[in-house]
Amino acid sequence: MAQLTADATCSCRSALARDSQRSASPIARKRAPTVVALFLWFIAGTAAAESLTQRIDAHLAAPRFAAASWGISVVAVDDGHPVYGHDDGKLMLPASTAKLFTAAVAMDRLGPDYRTHTDVLAAGDIRRGRLRGALVLRGRGDPTLAGDAWADQLAQQVVAAGITRVDDGVVGDDTAFAGPPIGSGWEASDLQAYYGATASGLSVDENTMVAEVAENAVTLAPTDAATTLAEQPAESPAFYRAPGTSTLHVLGAAPRKSRLSLPDPALTAARRLQAALEKRGVTVKKEARSVHWPIPAPTGTQLATLPSPPLTEILASGLKRSQNMYLQSVFLLTGMEATDQTAAHTEDRAAAVVGAWLSARGIGPSATSLEEGTGLSRHDLTTAGSLTHLLSSVDSPAFRALLPVAGVDGTLAHRMKGTAAEGNLEAKTGSMSYVNALAGYVTTKAGQRLAFAIILNNYKPTQGAGSVSSEVDAIAVMLAASAECL
């Protein structure tokens, strides 16, 4: 992968610096040729820059984009001077490039080593190993709990604390984030899909499940998913779960497999901890259950705790895969930890934190407005210029390492292969209906480091046209392939 070092500069710029030094020489006979050289360099550089501009402009002017909207900003990272702009101050839907704002604010406010934790509390008296009450599994927004290992670790600590019997079952406490679980502006049609899985105080398996129909049987994975199956005959096979319900309607018997959102992650997590406890010989009376905002959080004495991975690991996994639940969790954690905000709902506190942080860096509410942390909301708005302003201000090896690399990994693993962008361009993708975006960093063939944002809104490709992402990628490749001094 190309090394995007902070001191990388355009070779043309270095040449200009050398010529400027020579022009300061007291030897008069060298001054005139140097001035001529500078003039020719300026003309050549200007023509080259115009050449890139013309290529991008020609792409945007294609008839298929007549009804679409483009917002593009390209700036030099070394000094911030503009390289190219097209409606770079126009508000547009950013899709998942909005995650860049969430990540930047969290890295600054929470810190790269920040960890949250998941705890187990005893809500009652303990006598001779018997807990006369419930065992509370309290989540604090860790989005990474998955499989059985986390439950085994907590169960082991509970057993080590001397618990042999729980009278009132395991309670999954999902109250850490105050407010509705659905992100502001998320569409109802997204909520059943895996990418619409809501962030919750207590999460498990990325708050998703897999439903499969095979050989006239329906199965769910994980098997402890808090979901009721309802099979119904139908000509058109489908899975359907109404928002806010736990019943999955399986329409038709045709074989199929889908990854869907999990209706009650806290209950699934409570069941998993109960199974881990019973595996270790703990008797658990009553069925597992869950509590959610606005029910008050259960209280008790802490028996066990499990720290989350550091924030940088969560962000890297979330940004490279564009994992909505991860970034919404980080957004909510930022709000949960914001003692300087007073809004009743955690999401509102987080939005206030992001807005204040951006305003302090010259990105005001008229240029960027975010209500949630993923870009899935159609209430989120930003400009291409705001994105490059952000990227320039947070540029560092640590931040760039969080992003997908063209042709290498994440959501860019199969894009721009065999081009100058492969292994070079580091950027966040964004995609939803009628929206496609790409924002990040690239080094040109001339060695110039650029921050860029390319946003395409209101575009529906005609039959036979290339993929929407390829239209955006074409501009990014132009930047990577440029041998000009911009």
For the annotated catalytic residues, the residue numbers are 96, 99, 322
Closest C-alpha to 351, from 183, 155, 202, 479: 183
The HSE-up count of residue 197 (CA atoms within 13 Å, CB side) is 28
What is d(CA 248, CA 251) in angstroms, rounded to the nearest whole number?
Answer: 9
Closest by CA position to 8, among listed 449, 332, 469, 478: 449
Q: How far apart are the first and last CA of the chain?
A: 23
HEC string for 462-486 = CCCCCCHHHHHHHHHHHHHHCCCCC
Residue 475 contacts residue 455 (beta carbons within 8 Å): no
Q: What distance in Å separates the CA atoms of residue 363 and residue 357, rounded to the nearest whole number?
A: 9
List the strands of the sheet with 208-214, edge to edge. 217-221, 208-214, 256-261
Structure tokens at 326: 């991860």
To the nearest 5 percent, what fractions of the chain are helix, strand and coil? 35, 25, 40
The length of the chain, given as a count of residues: 486
d(CA 17, CA 21) in angstroms, rounded, equals 6
Partners of residue 381 on adjacent β-strands:
369
